[in-house]
Amino acid sequence: MEAVLFFVLAAGALAGALGVVLGRNPVHCALFLLVTMAAVAVFFLMQDADLVAIIQLVVYASAIVVLFLFVITLLGVDEHERLDEPHPFQRYAAIVLGAVLLVQVLVVIGNDWATGARSTVGPLDEDGRSGNVETLARALFTDYIWAFEVTAVLLVIAVVGGVVLARRSGRRLPAEGERP
Amino acid sequence: MTVLAQALDAAVDTPRVDWLAIAPETVLFGAAVAIVLGRALARRRPLVDEASFLTALVGVVAAGVFTFVQWVVVDGDGPYQAIAGMVAVDGFAVFVRTVVLIATFLGLLLSAGYLRREGLEAPEYHALMLCSATGMMLMASANDLIVVFLALEILSIALYVLVAFDRRRVTSQEAGLKYFLLGSFSSAVLLYGIALVYGGTGTTNLTRIARFLAGTTLLEEGVLLTGLVLMLVGLGFKVAAAPFHMWAPDVYQGSPTPVVSFMGGATKAAAFAAILRVYAGAFELYRVDWRPAVWALAVLSLVVGSVAALVQTDVKRMLAYSSVAHAGYVLIGVQVGNEAGTTAALYYVMAYTLMVFGAFAVVTVVGRRGDRRHELADYRGLAGAQPVLAALLTLFLLAQAGVPLTGGFVAKLSVFDAAVDAGQYWLALVGMLAAAVSAFVYLRIVLAMYAPEDDGPAVAARPVRVDLAAAVALAIAAAGVLFLGLLPDVVLDFARDATQLLAAGGRAGA
């Protein structure tokens, strides 16, 4: 069952990724990205990482893809978008870098040259707690409470900064030599 | 069992919150929130501007009082850590906080007249400046890499908006966008480095990292060293160290000048606080590995900063490149990596904050309405029209050049002294040569000011006006630069105590 599910989803994720790269219509590309994100979210779920799965759906599949679609619609892209490439070498560079990344991942999986602190292996809900949502919440409200609270400042800055930059300026810049 | 009963069963031990440890940041942020609320609720504009200015000043002074109380506590009972080891309360944090608060206080005083002159929205400006200062204060005491990252984002994002604040000038918007794009990129690099360090050590807490490295021998250090390099790139961007300085000239030139006078010193102070705490503190055992990287950064910054400043004709760009060189001098202190080096770096940051504030403050008022008279030609004959301003700018520039009797001289001397003591003769030599080259840059501006006016266009057509708040700020900065030069021992002792209390805090831990 699990193997069947894995292969079906893996095929879906790969097909979505290919669709993003090969699609002609930008809106379709963004929607293909959604397929990949959703498939990866189910992978996380299969690994008992329910929180990561939800974050994958909420942040990537919803917020980020919707943002892409927003930008695409705002820029008014029509169906026959000419995909002119101002820098033709970029395509080859992307292929080479993608290959390098693939080799890197394979090498890292095959070797254990990186040593560091001992990592913990096993399901997160081992000690009778109700899964990794609670474990993470506990960490947020105990050890990381200060970091968690401090993000409030970031949100205030985001709101004030957004208003400042988006508001239409009411005052004109007086010309040189003009009396205020 | 219901979910509620389960939740009650597993009560969470939240860590004890030591309010004194976070009082300065809390007060600053509280003042910022009060300003935003007041702006939203109040109707009459002029009153709001004055009220927000006063609120901001009161907030900074109150934060200063709490910082002083922290110093008394730390001096008496020794450094300690608070809130689950995330916040370090030590002399080092107090010193950096003092620098940040001085820069914020002076920056607020200077901005008051500027905002009125340019017709900009004062409350939002003050709130963002206080938020940025909050981030710098958090950075000063951050004892966890996650808090370092968050503090860096807080101080930077507020600065991106401040840089683009004058939306009627295209240069300001362009500078904001450039700073934002490059800054986000560097933040991502820093975060990548933090993730790799976490992978290598299993913790993001600096004290626990130090303890882990002291008790463990890593067979393969690839991940950890890559993380260290990436973090240095991210933080090096913030201090504008070459080769990560590309943003500095455009941002310094485009942004509102009072913003530069604030961020020039304060951002460097905060970012160097993180560099010192992470590298000289937590990764002290890896000195052999990170010192060559910092050495390269220091030499490149010194050379690029002093040489590139020579060919500029815009005064703001000249000072931007010279700030790259100044980052190089502080990096010399960091590179030495011992107590003397850290003390020298701290002293340099304090002196630089005052010097760069003063220089950009004069540039602010000389720039006149529109903030655009920043060519070297605009300074011709300034001494005739504005003898006091010209004398002050001369003082700040000579201090940056490192002329005796100013804070800049003692700062450079202590950095070179620390380098020579540690046997870093080449580094000290490069630093001295760079100082000689950049002295020429500063003299170019000084000579332009004292040149006769007749062969240039009549630049003083529109008189330069200095409002009271800006005059007070300039007087404080000038007095500070002279004080640091004539009686350096007071601040040097403060910096030395701060360093010793950092070292103790790093070892004892909670």
pLDDT at B390 over 60: yes
Is A165 near chain B, with CB under 8 Å? yes
pLDDT at A69 over 70: yes
Of B165, B220, B462, the CB nearest to A114: B220
CB atoms within 10 A of CB B104: 26
* pLDDT level of residue B151 (50, 70, 90 thresholds): very high
> What is the structure's pLDDT at A177?
44
Q: Between these two residues, A168 and B410, which has the higher pLDDT value?
A: B410
The complex's ipTM? 0.85
Chain A closest-CA separation from residue B190 CA (Å): 17
Residues 116-135 of chain A with CB under 8 A from chain B are 116-119, 129-130, 134
Is A139 near chain B, with CB under 8 Å? no
CB atoms within 10 A of CB B301: 29
Chain B closest-CA separation from residue A107 CA (Å): 14
What number is the average pLDDT over the span A145-154? 92
Chain B closest-CA separation from residue A80 CA (Å): 30
What CA–CA distance (Å, rounded) separates A39 from A27?
Answer: 19
What CA–CA distance (Å, rounded) separates A26 from A13?
Answer: 18
Domain holding B332, by residue range, is: 18-497
* pLDDT level of residue A169 (50, 70, 90 thresholds): low
Is B23 near chain A, with CB under 8 Å? no
Residue in A with minimal Cα distance to B120: A171
**CB neighbour burial string for B381-406, b if at least 16 within 10 angstroms, e if fewer:** bbbeebeebbebbbbbbbbbbbbeeb
Residue in A with minimal Cα distance to B169: A173
Chain B closest-CA separation from residue A120 CA (Å): 10
φ, ψ (nearest 5 deg) of residue B416: -65, -40
**pLDDT digit string (tens) for B300-352?**
999 999 999 999 989 999 999 999 999 999 999 999 888 889 999 999 999 99
- Number of structural domains, chain B? 1
> What is the structure's pLDDT at B506?
45
Instruction: Look at B131 and A157 and tell me if their CB atoms are within 8 Å.
Output: yes
pLDDT at B2 over 80: no
Closest CA to B97 of B25, B44, B36: B25
What number is the average pLDDT over the span B225-240? 93
Closest CA to B499 of B327, B288, B348: B348
What CA–CA distance (Å, rounded) separates B102 from B108?
Answer: 10
Report if residue B60 sits inside a domain: yes
Is the backbone peptide bond immediately before A86 cis, with ω within 30 degrees of 0? no
Output the CATH code of domain A2-166. 1.20.120
> What is the structure's pLDDT at B178?
93
Q: Between these two residues, B220 and A18, which has the higher pLDDT value?
A: A18
Tokens in use for B338?
A: 């011992």
What is the count of residue pairs from A and B with beta carbons less than 8 Å apart?
Answer: 131
pLDDT at B492 over 50: yes
Residue in B with minimal Cα distance to A161: B161
Helices and strands counted in chain A (H then E): 7, 0
CB B318 within 8 A of CB B379: no
Instruction: Look at A142 and B135 and tell me if their CB atoms are within 8 Å.
Output: no
Alpha-carbon dihedral angle through residues B59, B64, B69, B70, given to the nearest 10 degrees: 100
Pairing of strands B80-82, B87-89: antiparallel
Contacts of B83 in chain A (CB under 8 A): 145-146
**Cα–Cα separations (whole angstroms), residue B134 to B28, B32, B157, B227, B276:** 6, 9, 12, 27, 19
Report if residue B504 sits inside a domain: no
Instruction: Look at B131 and A116 and tell me if their CB atoms are within 8 Å.
Output: no
A129: left (phi over 0), alpha (psi -120 to 50) or beta: beta
> What is the structure's pLDDT at B507?
41
What CA–CA distance (Å, rounded) separates B96 from B102?
Answer: 10
Burial, B149: exposed, middle or buried (Cβ in 10 Å; 0-12, 13-18, 19+)? Answer: buried
Residues 480-499 of chain B with CB under 8 A from chain A are none
DSSP letter for each residue of B208-255: HHHHHHHH---S--HHHHHHHHHHHHHHHHHTT-TTS-THHHHHHHHS
What are B82's strand-pairing partners?
Answer: B87
* pLDDT level of residue B509 (50, 70, 90 thresholds): very low
Residues 112-141 of chain B with CB under 8 A from chain A are 117-119, 121, 124, 127-128, 131, 134-135, 138
**Cα–Cα separations (whole angstroms), residue B363 to B8, B319, B475, B486:** 61, 10, 15, 25
Q: Which helix (H) or strand (E) holds B79?
A: none
* pLDDT level of residue A68 (50, 70, 90 thresholds): confident
Is B154 near chain A, with CB under 8 Å? yes
What CA–CA distance (Å, rounded) separates B400 from B351?
Answer: 9
What number is the average pLDDT over the span B191-196? 94
Contacts of A116 in chain B (CB under 8 A): 199-202, 218, 223-224
Is B423 near chain A, with CB under 8 Å? no
DSSP letter for each residue of A100-120: HHHHHHHHHHH------SPPP
Q: Between these two residues, B216 and B27, which has the higher pLDDT value?
A: B27
Chain B closest-CA separation from residue A49 CA (Å): 19
Report if residue B1 sits inside a domain: no
What CA–CA distance (Å, rounded) separates B286 from A118?
Answer: 20
Q: Between these two residues, B501 and B429, which has the higher pLDDT value?
A: B429
> What is the structure's pLDDT at B1?
46
Contacts of A130 in chain B (CB under 8 A): 6
Is A113 near chain B, with CB under 8 Å? yes
Q: Quote the crossing angle between the two packed helices B122-141 and B257-275, to the nearest 10°.
A: 10
Report if residue B509 sits inside a domain: no
Instruction: Look at A113 and B15 and tell me if their CB atoms are within 8 Å.
Output: no
Instruction: Look at A173 and B461 and tell me if their CB atoms are within 8 Å.
Output: no
Report if residue B2 sits inside a domain: no
What CA–CA distance (Å, rounded) separates B221 from B408?
Answer: 40
Q: Which amino acid is at B227?
A: G
Contacts of A173 in chain B (CB under 8 A): 118-119, 168-169, 370
What number is the average pLDDT over the span A118-136? 63
Contacts 24+ apart (CB under 8 A), A136-140: A136/A51, A138/B12
Is A146 near chain B, with CB under 8 Å? yes
What CA–CA distance (Å, rounded) separates B226 from B365?
Answer: 45
Report if residue B6 sits inside a domain: no
Q: Between these two residues, A84 and B507, which has the higher pLDDT value?
A: A84
Average pLDDT, chain B: 88
For chain A, what are the domain ranges? 2-166
> What is the structure's pLDDT at B160?
95
What CA–CA distance (Å, rounded) separates B395 from B359?
Answer: 9
Tokens in use for B253?
A: 């030139």
